[in-house]
Amino acid sequence: MREHAFLALAAATAALAPLGAEARPVTYPSGNMAMAEHRDETTVVETMRTLTPKIAVGWHDEWDDESDWQFHGPMVAGLAKRWNMPAAQANIFWMAGAGVAFDDVASAGGEAQPAAYAGFEADWENRRFYTQYQARGLWAEDIDNTLTQRARVGVAPYIAEAGGLHTWAILQVDHEPEDDRPVSVTPVLRLFSGGLLAEAGVSFDGDAFATFMFYF
């Protein structure tokens, strides 16, 4: 199911004309975001709608083959702080969700337990450099309880004009304590233009990573 959701979103994203994008959970009032991400044995699909300049609501689906569980439920994200500098911008976002977790990654027929998660994201970027840090905790009673982290640094090999194709070379470090390999390092190539953003990479351990986002 998660593979079909990921491929369907990727196909729909590729077919739509780009409108304007930034890889952040809160965009502009009445703006929408659809995202699918796959890393190693985890797949996440999210849809978000921004209600105000600081609040967005949506739905979160997640499948984890490593620990054999899935989660589904509503979520909310907010802009906690933004710094607009002459040639750069920095942001802090928070996010939280609650729903149901199942102890079977293949179907929703397994044991169901209430679950919730919360996290935050901080970023800083100018037209040449980019940094980001994310942390998230998940609580699902007996199914899974864990804290995951991600850090990124990136550089743009060229400065694109507004509306052009923007390219970023990113080094991503993921920390997931329950994985067989708790720390993974992944070189990632990011491309975005208008409302379409795509990322792809392969970790030094050989695990594939891909993200598709569409803002509309």
Contact 100, 71 (CB under 8 A): yes
Structural domain count, the chain: 1
pLDDT tens digits for range 93-139: 999 999 999 999 988 777 899 999 999 999 999 999 999 999 999 99
- Boundaries of domain holding 177: 2-215
**What's the token pair of residue 105?**
């990654």
By CB atoms closer than 10 A (0-12, 13-18, 19+), residue 39 is buried
Q: How far is CA 143 from the centre of its chain?
A: 22
> What is residue 13's predicted lDDT score, i.e. its pLDDT?
41
CATH assignment at residue 68? 2.40.160.40
10 has pLDDT over 60: no
| Mean pLDDT score of the chain | 89
Ramachandran quadrant class, 163 (left: phi over 0; alpha: psi -120 to 50; beta: rest) = left
Residue by residue, DSSP assigns 14-49 as HHSPP----S-S--STT-EEEEEEEETTEEEEEEEE
